[in-house]
Structure 1
Amino acid sequence: MENYTYNSIMLQLEGLQTSEESVYPVFLLLLFSYIFIMVANAGIIVLIFIDKNLHQPMYLLFCNLPFNDILGNSIMVPRLLVDILQPPSERLISYYECVVQAFTTHMFGTTSHTVLMIMAFDRYVAICNPLRYGAIMTNKMVMKLTVSAWGVALILVGILLGLTIRLNRCRTLITNPYCDNASLFKLSCESVVINNIYGLTFTVVLFSGSIGTIVITYTKITVVCLTSKSKSLNSKALKTCSTHLVLYLIMIFSGMSLIALHRFPQYSDYRKYCTILFHIVPCSLNPIIYGVQSKEIRKYLSKFSVSKTISP
């Protein structure tokens, strides 16, 4: 008969299954990735706030993305780095810390979608209604869009975790490198039908709204560009929209890969690495892609590097 531990405060993380030879290479790779994510995303935020030329709706809305990347990785990666260096039996985490980690992880994924949705709306207004852009995208509208992006994510994730923490627990093993909602409700011996139904609804609504917003806005943008004879408008649309679209495709591909691997239990080790890459890869590429594509950011960085060269 299987032994059960009911509502234990301490849980055990399964973590990554790495060989002794690969422990330190994986640790160093994650460490350098984490440092780069923190420095690059924080640098983009600071740059946007100190340069008045970047105080535009497009960049202010984009600030939500690096802030979300910093928040999502600050909770997950440091704990993962500690666990990699420990034997599996010592990878312990308190239930409350696990809930906070799960909440932050799902907020990260959900907010990535909602932020890119409001950025798509900004690009739609800028290209399809350029004469009314200043009147529509006011500071008040930017604030409303930002609050909406975070508020919707907070409500959806709050209900998701609320349905999970109501359950009694009879197991203690988290079969994942870090805590998430699915790992938490799998600890329960009670019925999780409601959790599965809401989780599926949550995913369908989020992805449908996200993909639908991108398809609708970019279809209208494409129609405007094809019917317009303005080369400057088409050039502006290509530069700004390609950046946003690349960021979105990277995120959606990472998310879809993760969902697909959940359907194949035999690839559980690959799924674990994919969950980590879902945090690492988009967060590393976001500041690079936006920094390279943005004329204003490139101009500021070139001006800064020139002044550094001249000052000695």
Structure 2
Amino acid sequence: MSAGVNVTSLPILVTSVTLDGLAQLSNQRLFFFFFLCAYLFMLCSDSLVVYVICSQRSLHRPMFVFVTAVLMNSVAGSTVFYPKLLVDLLRGVRSVQVTLRVCMCEAWLLYSLGTSSFLLLAAMSFDRYVSICRPLLYTVVMSPATVLALLLLCWLLPVGLVGTAVLLASRLPLCRSQLSRIYCDIYSLVSLSCGGRETLLSEVYNLSVIVATVLLPAIFVLFSYSAVLSVCLRRSRSFSSKALSTCLPHLLVFCNYSVSSGVEVLHRRLQAGSQPTASVLTSIFQVMIPTVFNPVVYGLKVTEIRAQLRRLLGCQRAD
């Protein structure tokens, strides 16, 4: 009789997941107020910028279509994340139990929207590259059909790739059901598994998804703006100043997404021995910082949007 078998390493039937990340937030009332302000600010600022773009015909151009798409992604992702978090903080609970199916759906939505934003930023950099480096071809290359095709690619590709990752994770045998998180993510779900060949396959596929939807778009963004900078260095100062001013907001948003996601990914991969509080806070800031930062950048740094906002809010100076 084999008495040395470790029972805890055997697969168990897991139908729900316990998220105990809220236990790491010492003052939940203070965090409730903080996140409520962030959520309301994000909703109001994103909606205002999107309204300005949609209502002004002069802004119906490819660049602003992609800006609208990024902000819509931000609103959708925040709506998946904030309301439930606010309710849990208001109730003062320290752990939340969700069904495995709901957990999978939440991970799929958050990761699909997050990776979609990287692809949209790559499409935006392509638009700026064509506009500045190939201006004579701009109207031909960036036609309405091209813009629509890019939008569909940026939204549907992550849905399929991340959906497959979630499907692979859902088939893994699980040995644990408790996560020090406040929302579900694919990497954490895989970490609950018992290991083995299926877990390795899921991890390899997840890595390939990150490469396809985050790393490659990031490389393309850097290449595009490097080409733009090269052209600007060879042109007049006025042209360079105008061209770089249109690229700066997109670069700021790209850096914001990259740093937030990079810190989260590195922390998840190197979290052995780290404090659970640090894991919870990095996961929160990965979602919160881009959603609050992006509308501020586009509202204040994009000249056309800023001018329309001043006019709408009655701040336009009289000539």
> Shared topology, TM-score over 0.5?
yes
Q: Could you tell me how far 1:309 is from its partner in structure 2? A: 11
Question: Do 1:69 and 1:283's aligned partners in 2 also have CA atoms closer than 8 Å?
Answer: yes
Question: Do 2:300 and 2:306's aligned partners in 1 also have CA atoms closer than 8 Å?
Answer: yes
Question: Do 2:129 and 2:225's aligned partners in 1 also have CA atoms closer than 8 Å?
Answer: yes
> Which residue identity is paired with 1:118?
A
Cα distance change, pair 166–155 in 1 and its aligned pair in 2 (3 A): same
Secondary structure of 1:145's aligned partner: helix
Question: Do 1:125 and 1:133's aligned partners in 2 also have CA atoms closer than 8 Å?
Answer: yes
Consecutive unaligned residues in structure 2, runs of 5 or more: 1-6
Q: Could you tell me how far 1:57 is from its partner in structure 2? A: 0.8
Corresponding residue to 1:17 among 23, 32, 43: 23
Corresponding residue to 1:234 among 240, 246, 253: 240
CA separation in 2, counterparts of 1:175 and 1:195?
Answer: 21
1:106-117 equivalent positions in 2, closer than 5 A: 106-117=111-122
For normalisation by structure 1, the TM-score amounts to 0.91
Q: Could you tell me how far 1:190 is from its partner in structure 2? A: 5.2
Residue 303 of structure 2 is aligned to residue 295 of structure 1: yes
Question: Do 2:180 and 2:280's aligned partners in 1 also have CA atoms closer than 8 Å?
Answer: no
Query: Which range is displaced more, 8-17 or 40-49?
Result: 8-17
Question: Do 1:127 and 1:233's aligned partners in 2 also have CA atoms closer than 8 Å?
Answer: no
Corresponding residue to 2:219 among 212, 215, 230: 212
The residue number in structure 2 matching 1:46 is: 51
Corresponding residue to 1:224 among 225, 231, 234: 231
Cα distance change, pair 232–138 in 1 and its aligned pair in 2 (3 A): farther
CA separation in 2, counterparts of 1:205 and 1:81?
Answer: 33
> Which residue identity is paired with 1:299?
A
Identity of aligned residues (%): 27
1:168-183 equivalent positions in 2, closer than 5 A: 168-183=173-188
Residue 129 of structure 2 is aligned to residue 124 of structure 1: yes
Corresponding residue to 1:64 among 64, 69, 76: 69
Q: Could you tell me how far 1:125 is from its partner in structure 2? A: 0.6
Residue 40 of structure 2 is aligned to residue 35 of structure 1: yes
Secondary structure of 1:88's aligned partner: coil
Corresponding residue to 2:263 among 257, 273, 280: 257
The number of residue pairs the alignment matches comes to 307
CA separation in 2, counterparts of 1:203 and 1:19?
Answer: 29
Consecutive unaligned residues in structure 1, runs of 5 or more: none
Root mean square deviation of aligned Cα: 2.3
Q: Could you tell me how far 1:307 is from its partner in structure 2? A: 8.6
The residue number in structure 1 matching 2:253 is: 247
